[in-house]
Amino acid sequence: EALAWASLVCQGVPIRLTGQDTIRGTFSQRHLTLFDSKTGEPFTPIQNLPGATAPFELHNSPLSEIACLGFEYGYSGQAPDALVLWEAQFGDFVNSAQVIVDQFLVSGLAKWGQTSRLTLMLPHGYEGSGPEHSSGRLERFLQLAAEGNIRVSNPSTPAQYFHLMRRQGLISKARPLIVMTPKSLLRHPQATSQLGELSDGEFHKVIDDPLFAAGGSGNRSKVTKLVLCSGKVYYDIAACEERESASHVAVARVELLYPFPSNELVELMDSYPALERLEWAQEEPRNMGARAFMKIRLDDILPEGIAYSRVDRDWRASPGEGYAAHHKREQQRIVRAALDL
């Protein structure tokens, strides 16, 4: 994250980051500003880069999401070349700014020809922390996505996040970006990237199963089921102790949900010659997450003769469980169903 932002200000892209506990980071992961232990004097390294040609603004904001997001939307509209980012303490809290999202962020282009590159960073993921600390309401943004009005991403690796941020700051076609950002993945031992993936790589809209990609141990010709998922749930599936016994199942990640990566998904399905089934797997309840969105979009590109199914939590009025044991049982059920165990 810091590398992406630092590289942008060194390329002349102004950055403004605000939000709730943003300087430190909700999960103590960021620490953009350091404080002298004796004097309390703050120092922000990213604001003092010798090669920077653009400013980096950094502010903690009040816990009034509607006020803050409204201000940042206005700011981004008047500074179209700046990368303006607003981060919720947890993605769930964006619900208090829904009016700004509906009236301006997603419909401003259609109503007034007005858009921006305002980026919403919404920590999202089911970890047993209860209904107020689980969901960035991915389903709402996907329901509102149409006519190329926004971008919606759920990156699963540091390299993906790095390239996504740089892409948003440099792309000529400005659009708001909604990012489902990580929580437990910040310290997950498998959610890592090599430095070469940052220096030489690029953002991938879809990521194939590394078991069946080049250098992997799997046999693509024996894969009969392709599981598509997005975000943290991939690591739950990949870490299953019985993963090797499901050698007929490949698990791929959809990193960019909108605009929908039709071409990339068609290419992925075509690359498995024995494919018989396609399944969407998510940790969100059936009436939430990307399930409904994916079903509608996949209907247009699903090859003839390929069966489609889904695995998820049951219908819920509230996003997630507050009991760790119940959460764990549900996660295990989803993982095992995805792998046909």
Question: Which CATH number is 207-339 given?
Answer: 3.40.50.11610
Distances (CA, A) of 250 to 266, 331, 332: 15, 18, 18
Domains in the chain: boundaries? 1-187, 207-339
Shortest CA distance to 118 belongs to which of 146, 77, 172? 77
pTM: 0.95
Give mean pLDDT in consecutive 10-residue pieces for the chain, a chain of 341 residues.
97 96 91 95 95 96 94 96 95 94 97 96 92 93 98 98 98 97 94 95 97 88 97 96 93 98 98 97 97 97 96 93 89 96 91
pLDDT at position 108, please?
Answer: 97
Decide if 1-187 and 207-339 have a common fold. Answer: yes
Q: How far is CA 206 from CA 79, 200, 209, in A?
A: 31, 18, 10
Sign of CA dihedral 318, 144, 184, 56: negative
Helices (H) and strands (E) in the chain, counts: 11, 14
Report domain 1-187's class: alpha beta
